[in-house]
Amino acid sequence: MNSKIKIILTSFLLLFLLIACAPLSEEDYYEEEYVAETDAEVPFSGEAMSCPVITDQIIDLAVYGSEGEEDLLDEELVLVSYMVDGDEILDPAYEDVPDDLLEQQEDTELHQQLWDYYMALIPAEQRGTIAEYAITTDGVGGTLASVAQTAYDPNLWVLNVDVADTANYYELTYTLVHEFAHVLTLGPDQVVPSLAVFNNPEDNNIYLQELSACPDYFPGEGCANADSYIDDFYFQFWEELREEWDVINLEEDEDARTELLDEFYSQYEDRFVTSYAATNPEEDIAEAFTFFVFSSQPAGDTIAEEKILFFYNYPELVELRAMILNNMCTSFPE
């Protein structure tokens, strides 16, 4: 297979990987193995600029995962969707759900409390892209939160939060910032949405046309701006791995792909802040951003540390980091 076709197929497959994610609660097997094999110290721990005890715990959980028991449903369900208007959530749309989920569906106070916490963490001027807030669940464990373009406008995004996974505020905080990082790096200011792809999500030919018309990195939503964070990140950290990455991404069998990804991560462990970051460039930049927020500035001894340092090149992100940390310190529950 020639390399151009491989690149095209690679990027095409990426479309289907976006963007649901559960960096903390998804205990894939290579994360377990990582702990057993390395018995490592927690990397990058220590003095973030404030709340060091909280940030240490957040990073610790991100690296090692939590020990909670999973109790997953067969599928992920939306319980209720709210429209977002500035700071307000309103017009709840209730889905038909099994009786045993009614209590979670009707816990308006908890829904509001979780939204308030997201608002408290993320500065208002960075929240404009989120137009919808959905309470979902796939049971205990699995996906804690995710983001995606709304069904009606590719410039607007929905934040999904699984109420069953929100008791641990260390995990919740990490994951909300991780999901915010997706919106920050893939939102319309950074990646101009492809209307053709958005309106024809099943049409491979349209996808390939849009992809080949993009001179920069194509994360799936559209063509990344040349000066976007994800484009710079991709060409700095992923371009050199492209041929190896193509083999993994082209693997259609899920088990085989997981195995290849496991090998990829084992081989390049020092390139990634977590095993989950090796999933794809989009998850990698989101994980690296979240470590940038919650860990102290590293020396840059590994590529993983270079990925954290990457964000220090952008003064606006350094400022944003300080704001998020400060916000967290004042709103993290006692």
Q: Which is nearer to Zn ion, 131 or 183 (CB)?
A: 183
Q: CB-wise, 281 or 298, nearer to Zn ion?
A: 281
Cα separation, 315 vs 334, in Å, equals 31
Task: State the nearest-atom distance from the C-beta of 136 to Zn ion, in Å.
Answer: 15
Nearer to Zn ion, 137 or 143 (CB): 143
Q: Going along 202-266, which residue ranges are E strands?
A: 222-224
Beta pairing partners, 328: none
Is residue 156 part of the contact set for Zn ion (CB under 5 A)? Answer: no
Write the single-letter amino acid at 193: P
Among 13, 14, 18, 21, binds Zn ion (CB under 5 A): 21
Q: Which residue is nearest to Zn ion (CB)?
A: 21
Gyration radius from the chain CA atoms: 19
Instruction: List the 157-162 sheet strands across, edge first.
Output: 88-94, 71-85, 130-140, 157-162, 145-149
| One-letter identity of residue 60 | D
Q: CB of 317: closest distance to Zn ion in angstroms?
A: 18
Per-residue binder mask for Zn ion (CB under 5 A), 257-286, x = binder? --------------------------x--x
Q: CA nearest 307: which of 280, 289, 282?
A: 289
CA distance 221 to 154: 8
> Least distance from C-beta 213 to Zn ion, angstroms?
26
Q: Which of residues 69-128 bind Zn ion (CB under 5 A)?
A: none
Interface region with Zn ion, contact rule CB under 5 A, candidates 20-28, 244-252, 302-310, 323-331: 20-28
Backbone φ and ψ for 74, nearest 5 degrees, come out as -75, -25
Q: Pull the structure tokens for residue 305.
A: 């540390």
Q: Compose the 279-318 pattern: x for residues touching Zn ion by CB under 5 A, - for all others.
A: ----x--x--------------------------------
| Residue in 138, 70, 67, 79 with CA at minimum distance from that of residue 104 | 79
Toward Zn ion, which CB reaches closer, 183 or 297?
183
> Minimum CB separation from Zn ion for residue 217, in Å?
17
Stretch that binds Zn ion, among 19-27, 66-74, 211-219, 320-328 (CB under 5 A): 19-27
Rounded Cα–Cα distance for residues 312 and 315 (Å) = 7
Binding site for Zn ion (CB under 5 A): 21, 283, 286
